[in-house]
């Protein structure tokens, strides 16, 4: 689940979280019945001015902090486990340590999500820096390597 979004018009307001939790738990349970054993949830609020699904949010709707949104999902997942909709769940830090992840390619990435785009940006930046360093006449690039070759 890469992007979820809501607007605060659901009434009564006190039922918003329980209803949204039940919708997600129902979806996770349905996926389990189809044979899926893993689900990945991206829990990061949008940056100011960004909208995930709805084109525009009401000006009085507040965006939750990352910590509050993550807790919202953790509460939903605890409830999902109580209902046997999921067998277990981990946050990314716990999972990386539990699975003894050592390399970036071991972390799940999904097309269109945040990390694949970020990784491509980082790779392009590293390639640019590497190319600039190789072309630099300050002794740190390819010219310096050629000069050392004959020494």
For the cut 60, the answer to whether the pLDDT of residue 148 exceeds it is no
Question: Using 50, 70 and 90 to split pLDDT, how confident is the model at 151?
Answer: very low
pLDDT tens digit sequence for 119-138: 888 899 999 999 998 888 76
Question: What is the C-alpha end-to-end distance of the chain, expressed in Å?
Answer: 58
Neighbours of 80 (CB within 10 A): 23
Task: Check whether the bond before 61 is cis (ω within 30° of 0).
Answer: no
Over the chain, what is the mean pLDDT? 83
Rounded-to-integer distance, Cα 57 and Cα 54, Å: 7
pLDDT tens digit sequence for 25-67: 999 999 999 999 999 888 888 777 776 667 677 777 788 898 9
pLDDT at 143: 46
Backbone angles phi, psi at 107, to 5 degrees: -90, 130
Rounded-to-integer distance, Cα 67 and Cα 69, Å: 6
């Amino acid at each position: 689940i890469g992007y979820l979004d809501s607007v605060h018009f659901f009434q009564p307001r006190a039922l918003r979280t329980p209803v949204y939790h039940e919708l997600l738990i129902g979806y996770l349970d349905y996926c389990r019945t189809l044979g899926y054993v893993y689900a990945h949830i991206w829990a990061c609020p949008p940056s100011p001015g960004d909208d995930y699904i709805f084109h525009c949010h009401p000006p009085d709707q507040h965006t939750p902090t990352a910590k509050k949104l993550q807790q919202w999902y953790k509460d939903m997942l605890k409830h999902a486990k109580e209902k046997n909709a999921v067998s277990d769940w981990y946050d990314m830090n716990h999972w990386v340590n539990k699975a003894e992840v050592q390399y970036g390619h071991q972390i799940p990435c999904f097309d269109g999500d945040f990390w694949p785009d970020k990784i491509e940006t980082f790779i392009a930046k590293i390639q640019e820096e590497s190319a600039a360093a190789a072309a630099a006449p300050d002794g740190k690039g390819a010219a310096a390597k050629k000069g050392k070759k004959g020494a």
